Amino acid sequence: MTSRAGSDRYAPVSLVAWSVFIEALRRKDFYVLLIMGALFAAGVIIARVSGTMTEATGVFLLNLGMSISFLFAAILAAVMSVRMMPGELEQRTIHPLLAKPVSRAQVIFGKWIATSASSSAAMLVLFLIVYLPVPKNGSLSFFLLLQAIILKIVALGLLGAIGMLFSLIMPRALNLVLLAFIYTLSGTVSTFLRAKAMRSSLQDVWLWLIRYIPNFDLMDLTKRFTDGAPPLAGPQFIGILAYGIVATIFALAISCRIFERKAL
């Protein structure tokens, strides 16, 4: 009885997620990214066949390939999250959806699941396409690679959650610009503000505010992996993982709160 009630509770979320996932497959975004990843892989294969591949070149291409796959997946997550809620509201398709036994929180959560799953799947496919052809150094850590992939999946979930939050309060173009800024420069901005805070009389206040700036650099282990570094220590990895998950939950909770109060 309890298990059936639980499955009924999560059924609307899965239905919303599945419909968004199907819609994402109909668009060309994923296939364009796939073609670009395939072109990169083809270039690597040609370089290997021609005999121009050196160890330094291999490290560079591995770093570039991983960065490309992660960046393309982030672009997909940002684009999907930016247009998802505004599209529903503009086309009024949100009304028949909410007329069913689906709560607003379930709509938010279902769409976030679809965004995160789609971008994570795209990342894994692109990663394999660009990773497999590149020659690897024997000193590279498989466990560090696993940590890098897990943290990047969490980062994509956080990016999608922030995009959905912003989509409820600002235009799409501004949302996309802010997401690009946060994803690419959050680490640099946090470091800069932290250095400024150390010289401020309001140091504690500034440091408290800086904690709420999502730092995606913490969840990017690409350079560490390609440099042949060892895996992160367990507590450090769990700490970064918890940081990303808590930030994602926080963004989703605010999104649900705003959407509950939003007049449709």
For Cα atoms 245, 203, 193, give the angle at the middle one, nearest 5 degrees: 60
Q: What's the confidence (pLDDT) of residue 220?
A: 92
CA of 248: how far to CAs of 37, 38, 136, 215, 225, in Å?
28, 31, 33, 12, 25
Residue 167 has pLDDT above 80, yes or no: yes
pLDDT digits (tens, 9 = 90+) for 75-130: 989 988 888 777 666 666 666 666 667 778 888 888 898 889 888 988 998 888 88
pLDDT digits (tens, 9 = 90+) for 6-55: 445 556 666 666 666 666 666 677 777 778 888 888 888 887 777 766 77
Q: pTM of the entire structure?
A: 0.84
Average pLDDT rounded to a whole number, residues 200-216: 67
**Where residue 2 falls among pLDDT bands split at 50, 70, 90?**
very low
Q: What's the confidence (pLDDT) of residue 236?
A: 94
Q: What tokens appear for 150 in the block?
A: 């897990």
